[in-house]
Chain A
Amino acid sequence: MSKVAIIASNGGLFDAYKVFNIATAAAATDQEVAIFFTFEGLNLIHKEANQQLAMPEGKEHFAEGFANANVPAIPELVAMAQELDVKFIGCQMTMDVMGLEKESFVDGIDVGGAVTFLEFAKDAEVTLTF
């Protein structure tokens, strides 16, 4: 099975869609997917923060477009990704810096350092950074 390794390092709503759309599409196409959430990227799997991710400044008017296109909410995409066995790795170092505990995040994540991700990514055919 080929692998897709993703780094999520930004925490806005657009970033979340980029990450989870690619991840779920890849997982649905029988690829093994892992996402490393680091710095602001941790917002995407934070239980409260990911319910209300911000649009980029000046782009707030796209909210209507999202609703019209029937795009799933981020927590739904997170659940779907997990159901498709996408592996979530939270960055330990960022969590320490920001004073966050594993319990603040969605269930089922791994917490690890850069090497945890690199170990997965070393033989991935596709590596993406958002």
Chain B
Amino acid sequence: MNEIKANLILDAKGLACPMPIVKTKKAMTTLEAGQVLEVLATDKGSTADIKAWAGSTGHQYLGTLEDGDVLKHYLRKSSGEEATERKHPNVATNDELLTKLQNNDSIVVVDVREAAEYAFDHIPNSQSIPMGELESRLNELNKEDEIYVVCRTGNRSDFAAQKLAENGFTNVINVLPGMSQWTGETKSINN
């Protein structure tokens, strides 16, 4: 079974409705914005409930893995990231990146979302380097490459693009808006 990194794991196995939701709510309050919660549950109704719960509380439902009888739900705490101002000057639209990919141009796509977000939905052949790990993993990238940075809405990727530019990467492009409205092909841990 694939492992997905989470900031906190909540064990709600063996609990019946509404306990998984009640416990999820409590666990979520202990996390910081942008962090990922993994909820282990055996209540079969929990998949629909967790999805609906995320929808009405504004948190991001990433996906669910089945591991035997155990359901592993992944949620990301809402961050209010929609409001920030973007500073990296070099940007491309989703469609422009899609065209580059379809033309097989030699580009690198770096996905700076959390590993759990990447796991359930990402551009094929994109490289996962979560924002928090970028600084320590710069050696995995080449300074000369044409690097397209994606996240969910274009804000984390803006920070990442700035960070790369500061470190001598010369051809870095922030992709807007990013995975939230990506229409091209994607891969998931579930397929």
A contact residues vs B (CB 8 Å cutoff): 21, 24-25, 28-30, 69-72, 80, 84
Top 9 closest pairs, chain A to chain B, by CB: A25-B18, A28-B25, A28-B22, A71-B16, A69-B16, A28-B21, A24-B18, A70-B14, A21-B18
Q: Which residues of B contact A72 (CB under 8 A)?
A: 16, 19
Selected contact of A24 from candidates B22, B53, B57, CB within 8 Å: B22
Q: Which residues of A contact B24 (CB under 8 A)?
A: 28
A69 CA to B56 CA in the complex, in Å? 27
Within 8 A of A (CB), among B15-36: 15-19, 21-22, 24-25
B78 to chain A, nearest CB (A): 12
Provide the main secondary structure of the chain B interface: helix
A49 CA to B16 CA in the complex, in Å? 23
Q: Which residues of B contact A24 (CB under 8 A)?
A: 18, 21-22
Closest A residue to B53 by CB, please name it: A29
A28, A69, A70 pick with most chain B CB within 10 angstroms:
A28
Selected contact of A80 from candidates B14, B22, B57, CB within 8 Å: B22
A24, A25, A30, A71 pick with most chain B CB within 10 angstroms:
A25
The reply to whether A84 and B16 contact each other, CB–CB distance below 8 Å, is no
The reply to whether B21 and A29 contact each other, CB–CB distance below 8 Å, is yes
A30 to chain B, nearest CB (A): 5
Closest B residue to A84 by CB, please name it: B22
Within 8 A of A (CB), among B137-170: none
The reply to whether B16 and A28 contact each other, CB–CB distance below 8 Å, is no
